[in-house]
Amino acid sequence: MSINVSQQLKAPIGSVRNYEVSEVVDIAGGGSLVQGELRLMRTDRGILAKGTLHTEVEVTCSRCLSLFSCPLALNIEEEYFPAVDVVSGAWLPVPDEPGCFIIDEHHILDLTEAICQYALLAIPMKPLCGEDCAGLCPNCGHNLNHGPCDCPSQGMDPRWSELSKLLYM
């Protein structure tokens, strides 16, 4: 997702450009459509990209193990630093901030890496397909969201009940 910012780098500090995002980005091994609007603002050092993007990724429910589409909101706020001076073409020193983003020598600001990073952070540690996900029967493994299984509700093997406590902690 590349934006040419050469004009904006020549613009005065504080100048703003809105950029409409609607692109498929490879997140966590699958292509996800990312949509939203970003504000690009010229700062004294580079370009600040700020805005909320929305996407969905396929994840596995931690309770019933089925795949579902998990909506993510990405609150992007990243400053991009130019690799070269847009007027003179001279190389600029890279700021010594870990993980900072660079606008390349062709004045291309690439959002893909930031979007991937924000998306990976936004994916819940224990995703649930729904707050009321019924999970799997600890006895036979049946997905209880699809209805009850034939297991007797009483007299569950105590070893399984211990295991299920661990599974659903």
Positions touching Zn ion (CB under 5 A) are 61, 63-64, 129, 133, 137, 139-140, 142, 149, 151
DSSP letter for each residue of the chain: -EEE-HHHHHSPTT-EEEEEEEEEEEETTEEEEEEEEEEEEE-SSSEEEEEEEEEEEEEE-TTT--EEEEEEEEEEEEEEEESB-TTT--B-PPP--TT-EEE-TT-EEE-HHHHHHHHHHHS-SS--SSTT---B-TTT--BGGG---SS-SSS--HHHHHHHHHHT-
Smaller CB distance to Zn ion: residue 117 or 139?
139
Smaller CB distance to Zn ion: residue 87 or 125?
125
Smaller CB distance to Zn ion: residue 91 or 168?
168
Smaller CB distance to Zn ion: residue 62 or 112?
62
Q: Nearest approach, Cβ of 131 to Zn ion (angstroms)?
A: 10
Q: Nearest approach, Cβ of 67 to Zn ion (angstroms)?
A: 10
Q: Nearest approach, Cβ of 16 to Zn ion (angstroms)?
A: 43
Q: Nearest approach, Cβ of 135 to Zn ion (angstroms)?
A: 7
